[in-house]
Amino acid sequence: MTSLEMYAATDVGMRRNHNEDCVKITPSHGIAVLADGMGGYNAGEVASAMAVDLISEQVREKVLSIPKAAIDRATGFTGESILLRQAIIDANDAIYQKAQSDRQCAGMGTTVLAALFYADRITAAHVGDSRMYRLRGGILSHVTEDHSLIHEQVRRGLVTAADARNSMIKNLVTRALGIEAGVEPDIVEDMVQPGDIYLMCSDGVTDVVADELIQQTMSRYSKQLAEGAGKLIQLANDAGGPDNISVILIRADAEQKRGLFSRLLGK
């Protein structure tokens, strides 16, 4: 079994006057959620806050009641993945209804990236271009694929990753919560190994900080998550901080086995 350490941080950046990102971690239940809101009248922050609160609470309330090793026959996903998917769909419904019924929230929406750790596994579910990375053995890999127009062009080989960073359409997402009555999150399941470090971040990081710098920072601060999060925010701000910046860092460690004396004392 692995134990988890989590740290979350968000920053307004250098050019915005308010923060429409929202982050929430619940280490006791292995839950981490990040959202990057959009919309006028500060409604983006309403959408992102609704997303992280609704998803976190629904998963927290239900995750412990899922039977062990439960697998959904229709999809092949674990029960935990099905729970996370449904929580995102339900959050979309709530945000969409709020946007339809409240004039000040009209047109609001948000990306969302949610992670659930359980039984040496992780499920990541996302809508939009908030991104998850995994650092394992010094190698950085993408866990999620952005739902954005520019990512589709990169995937098809129409533009390079370097050109994409400066593209005028880099912030056009192809999926978001609250924009339409229905949404389908992408689901990724993986096994977690001791020493793995996961980064969840908004495009306030990925638009301006190259993967190489992200890898170097995660490696350097692998044992100091708070310092690592602060460094990533600093790097984004040093690059101009054009957007709100949010990061969640999660480290998986081998769970320490207690000796007989400690077990007898209940420690």
Per-residue pLDDT at 176 exceeds 70: yes
What is residue 260's predicted lDDT score, i.e. its pLDDT? 54
What is residue 259's predicted lDDT score, i.e. its pLDDT? 57
What is residue 255's predicted lDDT score, i.e. its pLDDT? 80
In CATH, 2-265 is 3.40.50.620: no
Per-residue pLDDT at 263 exceeds 60: no
What is residue 258's predicted lDDT score, i.e. its pLDDT? 56
Per-residue pLDDT at 161 exceeds 90: no
How does residue 198 score in pLDDT terms, banded at 50, 70 and 90?
A: very high
What is residue 238's predicted lDDT score, i.e. its pLDDT? 99
Torsion of CA 53, 56, 57, 61, to 10 degrees: 180
Per-residue pLDDT at 152 exceeds 60: yes
Question: What's the rounded mean pLDDT across residues 32-41?
Answer: 91
- Residues 1-35 have pLDDT tens digits of 689 999 999 999 999 999 999 999 999 999 999 99
Edge-to-edge, what's the strand order for the sheet holding 121-127?
A: 21-26, 31-38, 109-118, 121-127, 186-191
Q: Where are the alpha helices (DSSP H) in the chain?
A: 43-62, 79-101, 149-155, 161-165, 203-206, 211-220, 225-238, 260-265
pTM: 0.92
- Residues 64-118 have pLDDT tens digits of 999 988 999 999 999 999 999 999 999 999 999 999 999 999 999 999 999 999 9
How does residue 236 score in pLDDT terms, banded at 50, 70 and 90?
A: very high
pLDDT above 70 as % of the chain: 93
What is residue 149's predicted lDDT score, i.e. its pLDDT? 86
Token code pair at residue 106:
């009209």
Per-residue pLDDT at 251 exceeds 70: yes
**How far is the C-alpha of 261 from the C-alpha of 249, rounded, in Å?**
34
- Residues 203-229 have pLDDT tens digits of 999 999 999 999 999 999 999 999 999
What is residue 91's predicted lDDT score, i.e. its pLDDT? 99
The helix/strand/coil state of 37 is strand
What is residue 166's predicted lDDT score, i.e. its pLDDT? 72
pLDDT above 90 as % of the chain: 82
